[in-house]
Amino acid sequence: MKLLRLAALAATLAGLVAAPAVADTIKVGVIGPLSGPFGIFGKNFKAGIDAYQAKAGKTVKGHTVEFVYRDLEAIDPAKAKALAQELIVKERVQYLAGAYFTPDALAIATVIDQGKTPFVVMNAATSSITQKSPLVSRSSFTMWQITVPAAKAAIEEGAKRMVVAVSDYGPGLDAEAAFRKTFEAEGGTVTDSIRMPVRTTDFGPIMQRVKDTKADAVFAFLPSGPPTLAFVKAFIDNGLKAAGIKLITTGDLTMEPDLPALGEAGLGIISTYGYATSHDSPENKAFLADLAKVGLPEKEVVMTAVAAYDGARLLYRMIEATDGKQDPAKAMDAIKGYAWESPRGPVSIDPKTRHIRQNIYKRVVEKRDGAYINREIKAYPDQPDFGLMQ
């Protein structure tokens, strides 16, 4: 009797082993601005992810990968935290991704350790975010990474006395520190440092202050979106450009969809960034074609599409290494040191900082075939996150 039961049990177990694997779904929660004034950046997150899935397929080792989106229109850390918790607890996501603004990324990072949820930052650019948890990585860029080259570009362009103007929060303060340190080390002088409230849209008084300091150039950073367009327009409309003052910025201020609104007056602005839609490579041409196929025309493409596309690649690699199981240590190990060819050029994940290393390009706004572009004129190769090295 006993033997029979054992035999039956053995048969059942053998059946279980032989049974085809039940298809499972690995969920990834994506938090970002899908609507509102910054909606274009969330739309780019989604298009970048869709383009990656269209290329790589929707399954990894038999596990279906499903992206679940939550809209976070503006800076709102309390809501970011609540959304992250809801995604982990109710939606049972194994991974989190997205985060346009730094305060939101920092809030999300406070809840991921409980759920053991690796988090791929796809925009927020303050260096310290990855220090909040060993489970944070970043596929976008950091302010230090793009601003050290901006200060070098300023010197190359002959600037000697510069005003620094930044938004008064995490990434702005990183940009200010990175610019000042590099520019002064190369022999430049910062004549004034202006911190602008994040919600300011009236830049007239700031432009007057710049004129008063008799600087020969301005370095500026604001979060990409309506504030950046307003700032650059104010620079032009208040006659600073006409007075021969140069504007040198991070690429956040010269995103391609805004260039038509600046028109001829925007020509000649120098910026530094990891990605331009005009980047000349077969990978970028294929990427732009794939984005168009998932509904994002080239004229709407911004940096967050490429950060999400590369971020999706990191998520797939983690899912593959863990065979779909929740093993955050193994998942993180799988991306450390990983190198690949991105639409922006060669990139890798720095094993120490978990930040993406990439070429940063000096670009100039130009008109080509009737369209305004950021033309890459020089590469600063394989830039790390200088911020964590200070």
Contact positions toward ligand PHB, by CB under 6 A?
100-102, 123-126, 171, 223-224, 252
Could you tell me the smallest distance in angstroms from the CB atom of residue 202 to ligand PHB? 20
Residue closest to 285 by CA, chosen among 269, 301, 267, 274: 301
Tokens of 28: 């990834």
Could you tell me the smallest distance in angstroms from the CB atom of residue 244 to ligand PHB? 27
- In the complex with ligand PHB, the residue whose CB is nearer, 290 or 385, is 385
The Cβ-side half-sphere exposure at 55, using a 13 Å CA radius, reads 19
Residue 247 sits at the vertex; the CA angle it makes with 377 and 74, to the nearest 5 degrees, is 100
Q: What is the dihedral of CA 47, 117, 77, 89, to 10 degrees?
A: 100
DSSP state of 298: G
Could you tell me the smallest distance in angstroms from the CB atom of residue 226 to ligand PHB? 12
Could you tell me the smallest distance in angstroms from the CB atom of residue 120 to ligand PHB? 15
Helix (H) or strand (E) holding 186: none
Could you tell me the smallest distance in angstroms from the CB atom of residue 133 to ligand PHB? 17
Could you tell me the smallest distance in angstroms from the CB atom of residue 172 to ligand PHB? 9
Strand ranges (E), the chain: 25-32, 59-60, 63-71, 95-98, 119-121, 136-138, 161-167, 189-196, 217-221, 246-250, 270-273, 339-342, 345-349, 356-368, 371-383
Instruction: Give the phi and the psi of residue 328 in degrees, each rounded to 5.
Output: -60, -35
- In the complex with ligand PHB, the residue whose CB is nearer, 101 or 361, is 101
- In the complex with ligand PHB, the residue whose CB is nearer, 126 or 359, is 126
Could you tell me the smallest distance in angstroms from the CB atom of residue 199 to ligand PHB? 13
**Single-letter residue type at 52:** Y
Radius of gyration of the chain (CA): 23
- In the complex with ligand PHB, the residue whose CB is nearer, 126 or 139, is 126
- In the complex with ligand PHB, the residue whose CB is nearer, 102 or 139, is 102
Could you tell me the smallest distance in angstroms from the CB atom of residue 101 to ligand PHB? 4
User: How far apart are the C-alpha atoms of 306 and 325, rounded to whole Å?
Assistant: 27
- In the complex with ligand PHB, the residue whose CB is nearer, 53 or 228, is 228
Around Cβ 74, how many Cβ atoms within 10 Å? Answer: 15
Using CB atoms within 10 Å of the CB of residue 73, give its burial: 0 to 12 exposed, 13 to 18 middle, 19+ buried. middle
- In the complex with ligand PHB, the residue whose CB is nearer, 168 or 323, is 168
- In the complex with ligand PHB, the residue whose CB is nearer, 99 or 334, is 99
